[in-house]
Amino acid sequence: MKRLTTGQVTKASGVHIETVRYYQKHGLVAEPRRNDSGYRMFEAEAVETIRLIKNAQELGFSLKEIKLLLAVRDSAETGPVIEEMRQLGQERIQAIDAKINQLERLKKLIVEATIRTETAWPLQTDRACPIIHAIEKGEG
């Protein structure tokens, strides 16, 4: 079974050493064993785990949700786990829909703010930017 140093793991997974430590602190990556020389030696699977964590984070999963994903991946059970994953999937869909709505509202606000003429805005010396004014007023 191949073991990797911390440097090899960070290079192979494309993350900084502090990221690996952060994941260890939160129980997402197991603390590696030390070899006779005192070097931390990770199992080769740690690279795949770290990549999964990073990809899940980029997709918007929380650390708590990622812990569940890792538990499911490592579990031999299927029945209850499938239901948990279905529920997690539904929650992520709702969160994505909410984010899409928020982004569409933001886009509309900025588009409208940028196409309005200066004369359409009640210009004040400290509120001359139409985008800031629209955000403050919640327009869009």
Q: What is the predicted pLDDT for the residue at 48?
A: 94
pTM: 0.69
Q: What is the predicted pLDDT for the residue at 106?
A: 87
**Which of these, 98, 17, 82, 22, lies nearest to 57 by C-alpha position?**
22
What whole-number percentage of the chain has pLDDT above 70?
82
Does residue 9 have a pLDDT over 90?
Answer: yes
Interatomic CA distance for residues 87 and 3, integer angstroms:
36
CATH number for the domain spanning 41: value is: 1.10.1660.10
Report the range out of 30-34, 100-104, 114-118 with the highest average pLDDT.
Answer: 100-104
Confirm whether 3 is domain-assigned: yes
Confirm whether 97 is domain-assigned: no
DSSP string, 44-81: THHHHHHHHHHHHHHTT--HHHHHHHHHHHH-S--HHH
Confirm whether 34 is domain-assigned: yes
Confirm whether 25 is domain-assigned: yes
Interatomic CA distance for residues 10 and 19, integer angstroms:
9
Q: What mean pLDDT value characterizes the chain?
A: 84
Mean pLDDT across 68-90? 80
Cα–Cα distances (Å) from 123 to 23, 47, 113, 138, in that order, read 49, 55, 13, 17
Mean pLDDT across 50-78? 87
Q: What is the predicted pLDDT for the residue at 25?
A: 94
Q: What is the predicted pLDDT for the residue at 85?
A: 81
What whole-number percentage of the chain has pLDDT above 90?
42
Confirm whether 46 is domain-assigned: yes
Domain that holds residue 16: 1-61
